[in-house]
Structure 1
Amino acid sequence: MKPTRARIRRRLLPALALIALSTVVAPPAGADAGPRPAGADAGPFPAGADAGAPSPLDWKPCAQGPDDAPGKELDQAGARCAQLTVPLDHSRPGGRTITLALSRLPATDRARRIGTMVLNSGGPGESSLGMPLRTRAAMKDVAARYDLIGLDPRFVGRSTPLDCGWPIGLWLRSPGATRARFDHQVAVQRDLAERCARRHADVLPYANTRDTARDIDLVRRVLGERRISFLGYSYGSYLGAVYTQMFPGRTDRVVLDSAGDPDTWGPRAQQGTEDEAERALRGWAAWAARRHGTYGLGATPARVLATVDAIVAAAQDRPLRVGRYEVDEQAVPYILSVGSGNDRSAARAEFSATVRTLNEAAHRRPAAPGPELDGFLTFILTSAGSPLAGPAAAIICGDRAAPRDPDVYWNDIERSRARHPLFGPLKNTIWPCAFWPNQPRERLTRVANPTPALIVAATGDTATTYQGSEAMHRALTGSRLLTLRGAVAHGIYGEYGNACVDAEVNAYLATGALPAADPTCRP
């Protein structure tokens, strides 16, 4: 069940891995602040808004009790955890504070130690505290030369929490087939925003990527590092890019996996990804057709897609009963979009089993979900996903304002429905950001700088598209683009299982030398 939740979280707002210079805090002693580089983003906070050096970290065991399996795993690997106090509002460093949770897996080859690497899993809203263990496995021998830092960003995981109290499944939904159902969804999204405001109106203005980047620079300072390396996936790539813009010269080796277009980041970032989603669904349909004897979904791709259409139609008629859950027409497109976005055999087999169960429910037969589908539905339809949904929505809405007029969304939905009847409405629908209680405190970061970075992208990514990664490559003029061609994947390095990609990234992490040209790998 845990792998399913991790995949859901990574693709939650299949975020566009991106992120900017303000000497909000002074550089560590001996660092060369130098003149502000061209294109640096100073932001509204003056360089003098520095409360002084952060307090030293008190590293302790990570496990918080006998049932804390992730903490125990970190402890057994030799990691330690700490809490860092940071300003809620970086323009008022002497005011209210919040805490950040960190883990550190120290370098074991101290004689050849390269430095510290900060990690981010994405989301936004995904906990990264346990990420050093996964990253160490991906880095192989190179990991021994880095201190790996898992950081739960502000309001995420073990850091000061922000929980709006609503399931992800109430937020990430298709609008339905009619204006009446869309109007109901508008009311739901308004209610979600109001519920979050009632709980957290005092902190929502400070949930955003730019303040998270400032937090990362405080982490750099308290660790005594002049520069840090960074590895981020999906939204974590956006965060990493914003950090390079806000704090130029503070990074060493930067890997941005499954990056998106930094200029389109925000509440409507999924617009324009319909073609990729439909190609991925067709690719899965061809795979499932060759296994009709196993899954019974159709002996040709066209028949498999007809089965999918029948499931959607049945859900429009009335919700599908899947075990203890009702899955309605607004949830089905999201399930299909998430499930078809990975072309590895294990992922396609899991998704085929999901569609088989939905097909049973569509025929009004008993449909008991397997453990993976049950975990998926539990996560999106119950309060289990609430601790992730709140900070994710708050960060997205806090980064960029969304249109307030529901008719803007309805018109986009109707235009997209003609060409993309399944995924068009899902990608263009209204979110709580349309009713968010506060406007963003700062403008969206414009990423444009020469930071050396390695951007990793799959040509069939349905979440942060390959075109988005190309846009990130253009924005970071010192970067190289490592392409996994012919693959449908989101989250590649150390996750997809491509030896070529893993070797290219590890060579860069070991030497600091980017490839001479943009390299290409194949599945």
Structure 2
Amino acid sequence: MPIRWIRWLVLGVISAAAFTTLPMGPASADPVDDIPGGLESFYHQQLDWKPCNDAVLDDAGAQCAGVVVPLDYNRPDSRTLTVAISRIPATDPARRRGIMLSNPGGPGGPGLSMMTELRDRLTPDVRAQYDLIGMDPRGIGRSDPMSCALPMPSLLFSAGFDAFGYARDATLAAALAASCVVPDPEKARDITTRNTARDMDVIRGAFGERALNYYGNSYGTYLGAVYTQMFPQRSDRIVLDSAIDPDRYWIGTYQDMGATNEAGLDDWAIWAARHDADYHFGSSGPQVRAFVEDMIRRAAAHPVIGNGYLIDEHTAPMMLLAMLSNPQLNTKLAEVVRVIADAVSGLPFDMEQLKTKMSGRAPTDASGMAAVLCGDKAAPRDPAWYLRNIESVRATQPVFGAFANNITACAFWPEPIEPPTAVHNSTPALILQATRDTRTAYQQGVALHQDLTASRMVTLADTRVHSIFGVGLSPCVNDIVNTYFRDGTLPGADLTCRPDPNYLAN
């Protein structure tokens, strides 16, 4: 494959009731009790707070610090990493009860500024009680980031329609793996969820806190669940929004995205049909879907390259997937489809408009994402295994099946340094899940709820959305989350909420 062609491909891909009072966390324990041997200096380190030199964080009154952690926790006297964290102080020091750590998902998502957004969803009573802590996980953002020699905006591709297209993706996946591992094999293999959970506990210790409060979104729910398994006595108020089934992480998580995104596309197609006068995709849902499927076939036959973007059968489905996670993106998705359709039909189009629409839709770092996923759990090595899975779902998942079952760099990654975490414990937690989530399918949240036997689950009904604790989406959900963080109370039973109709109106 010509190097120039690979570069174009890489640049083009766009890459998910009554209440019962519960314990307020572990009782009277020194925050540094039970520290594994050799880690005392990490848990006792003093944090040096400085300006973040980031406009968003600085405007929020945040400060930043670096937390030194071992690269390999089995060798704490060897190499170290520095994990970047931010702090927005509790608004009422007299009522402060601890820290609330967060993770935005991915994996590969930088989270240093996450709390600047999350604080808008928290009530004043909650803001008064917690220092809000953002974190770039190890290997990501400002935390000694991974740097693969082959720069890619995404780890994930759609395999296309034939064996040649699949072989092309397999070749690129192998090249990406080599470019990540060869420069620094030790670092590449130690960027894992279990090590990030250990980092979180070091952060807790460095703050002198006896327990950790946590809000995690998407992949962040898996990280949070792993923390509760590894450090159950240090887990306090835990909220897991749009959850992942630990038993299906990570390959199964992506496989489940095939069917739920096909359903999401049908939902969007019904909306687009009501706006046929604006976009001309068809006057019924099936007509709109047929238009999209034909558009992807035309992209395969007539790929378009411009301004560093490639539109073809590998990238077009990923552009759709990026915008199916929220109904408020319906208009943007229609505009993206219009640009793609015009481009692959040979009509005049504006590639800059497409780049603008897609900007920010794939915030995760491909290098960090590869390291975490591949380091967490071994993937099948046989390329034929993936191709068989792709072919088995083509009829039922014509747009997204070739993505959800595609090969990745993990097929060519070294074996993980430790086995994945089996999550099953009685740590109280609040699990939030939308029935039509296109990133983490609803059954994933149900499975995590079963694994965390003392958890409660809040379902947002009839909503195609990922991340349900949000401004304006559901006052019902927001009240439950804020009550839990404020008082430590979970619903006495699982509950179902509905979205605000105004949020869905567009």
TM-score over 0.5 for the pair: yes
* Equivalence for 2:440: 464
Question: Given the alignment of the two structures, is residue 62 of structure 1 paired with residue 46 of structure 2, yes or no?
Answer: no
* Equivalence for 1:75: 58
What secondary structure sits across from 1:277 in the alignment?
A: helix
Deviations 1:274-304 (A, max 9, x none): 2211111001000011011122221211221
Deviations 1:111-153 (A, max 9, x none): 2222110011111111111112111111031212210011111
* Equivalence for 2:384: 407
CA contact (8 A) 1:321 1:367 kept: no
Offset at residue 167 of structure 1 (A): 4.5
Cα distance change, pair 371–361 in 1 and its aligned pair in 2 (3 A): closer
Which blocks of at least 5 consecutive residues in structure 1 are unaligned? 1-11, 15-26, 35-45, 64-70
CA contact (8 A) 1:166 1:389 kept: no
Cα distance change, pair 352–104 in 1 and its aligned pair in 2 (3 A): same
| Whole-Å separation in 2 of the counterparts to 1:32 and 1:50 | 10
* Equivalence for 2:91: 108
* Equivalence for 1:521: 497
Question: Given the alignment of the two structures, is residue 304 of structure 1 paired with residue 280 of structure 2, yes or no?
Answer: no
What secondary structure sits across from 2:238 in the alignment?
A: strand
CA contact (8 A) 1:413 1:424 kept: yes
Cα distance change, pair 136–171 in 1 and its aligned pair in 2 (3 A): closer
Offset at residue 162 of structure 1 (A): 0.7
The match for 1:156 among 140, 145, 148 is 140
| TM superposition score normalised by structure 1 | 0.86
Percent of aligned positions that are identical: 42
| Whole-Å separation in 2 of the counterparts to 1:137 and 1:484 | 20
Offset at residue 362 of structure 1 (A): 2.5
CA contact (8 A) 2:120 2:471 kept: no
What secondary structure sits across from 2:83 in the alignment?
A: strand
Q: Which moved more, 1:228-237 or 1:329-338?
A: 329-338
Which blocks of at least 5 consecutive residues in structure 2 are unaligned? 1-13, 17-26, 500-506
* Equivalence for 2:24: none
CA contact (8 A) 2:258 2:403 kept: no
* Equivalence for 2:182: 198
Offset at residue 228 of structure 1 (A): 1.3
Deviations 1:204-244 (A, max 9, x none): 11010000000000000000000110000001110011000
Offset at residue 31 of structure 1 (A): 5.0
The match for 1:396 among 352, 358, 373 is 373
| TM superposition score normalised by structure 2 | 0.89
Question: Given the alignment of the two structures, is residue 484 of structure 1 paired with residue 460 of structure 2, yes or no?
Answer: yes
Task: Kindly report the root-mean-square deviation, in angstroms, between the aligned alpha carbons of the 2 structures.
Answer: 2.2
CA contact (8 A) 1:163 1:389 kept: no
Offset at residue 321 of structure 1 (A): 4.9
CA contact (8 A) 2:112 2:134 kept: yes
Question: Given the alignment of the two structures, is residue 341 of structure 1 paired with residue 325 of structure 2, yes or no?
Answer: yes
CA contact (8 A) 2:115 2:133 kept: yes
Query: How do 1:424-463 residues align onto structure 2 when only pairs under 5 Å count?
Result: 424-436=401-413, 438-463=414-439
What secondary structure sits across from 1:482 in the alignment?
A: strand
* Equivalence for 1:270: 254
Offset at residue 375 of structure 1 (A): 5.6
Offset at residue 158 of structure 1 (A): 0.8
Q: Which moved more, 1:280-289 or 1:300-309?
A: 300-309
What secondary structure sits across from 1:202 in the alignment?
A: helix
Question: Given the alignment of the two structures, is residue 127 of structure 1 paired with residue 110 of structure 2, yes or no?
Answer: yes
Question: Given the alignment of the two structures, is residue 176 of structure 1 paired with residue 160 of structure 2, yes or no?
Answer: yes
Offset at residue 160 of structure 1 (A): 0.8
| Whole-Å separation in 2 of the counterparts to 1:322 and 1:501 | 43
What secondary structure sits across from 1:312 in the alignment?
A: helix
CA contact (8 A) 1:162 1:200 kept: no
State the number of aligned residues: 474
Cα distance change, pair 233–82 in 1 and its aligned pair in 2 (3 A): same
What secondary structure sits across from 1:261 in the alignment?
A: coil
* Equivalence for 1:350: 332
Q: Which moved more, 1:236-245 or 1:128-137?
A: 128-137
| Whole-Å separation in 2 of the counterparts to 1:247 and 1:57 | 22
What secondary structure sits across from 2:177 in the alignment?
A: helix
Question: Given the alignment of the two structures, is residue 423 of structure 1 paired with residue 375 of structure 2, yes or no?
Answer: no
What secondary structure sits across from 1:262 in the alignment?
A: coil
| Whole-Å separation in 1 of the counterparts to 2:134 and 2:169 | 37
CA contact (8 A) 2:100 2:131 kept: yes
